[in-house]
Amino acid sequence: MGKEKNPRRVAENEAMAKLRMLRTSPQKLNLVAAMIRGKKVDRALTDLTFSNKRIAQDVKKCLQSAIANAENNHGLDVDELIVAEAWVGKNLVLKRGRPRARGRFGALRKPFSELTIKVREIEEQA
């Protein structure tokens, strides 16, 4: 008499991974996410490995997690995977401040982001 199984949130030939509370602005993170959208996963991993952006290593970790989910949980072929979607969302913003001249207060916003990567298996064209 247990609960029914949850339906899959992605298609049968897809897998995804989500990374929350990344300490960078969504705008900066989206630059790195745009770099890998639509690429084959091995090419995307290479690009992230040699990127000069600090947040690229966290994006690489999320992509590796999506690849592992595809292989272990859904039985997809790793060599046929592409980065179907990579989107960025806002998360909380720490509000800090700094004293300024003449008794004023300078607001500092320290934003957090979240990243979702969806990989899809493509059929080999003959």
CATH code of the domain containing 117: 3.90.470.10
Q: What number is the average pLDDT over the span 17-29?
A: 97
Task: Determine phi and psi for 31, rounding to 5 degrees.
Answer: -65, -40
Assess if residue 126 is contained within a domain: no
Domain that holds residue 71: 14-121
**pLDDT attached to residue 125:** 64
- Determine contact, residues 56/86, Cβ cutoff 8 Å: no
Assess if residue 2 is contained within a domain: no
**pLDDT attached to residue 2:** 85
**pLDDT attached to residue 80:** 94
In angstroms, the CA 68 to CA 71 distance is 5
**pLDDT attached to residue 126:** 53
Q: What does the pLDDT look like over 58-79, one tens digit per residue?
A: 999 999 999 999 999 999 999 9
Average model confidence (pLDDT) for the chain?
A: 94
pTM of the complete model: 0.90
**pLDDT attached to residue 8:** 82
Domain count, the chain: 1
Assess if residue 1 is contained within a domain: no
pLDDT at 38 over 70: yes
Assess if residue 65 is contained within a domain: yes
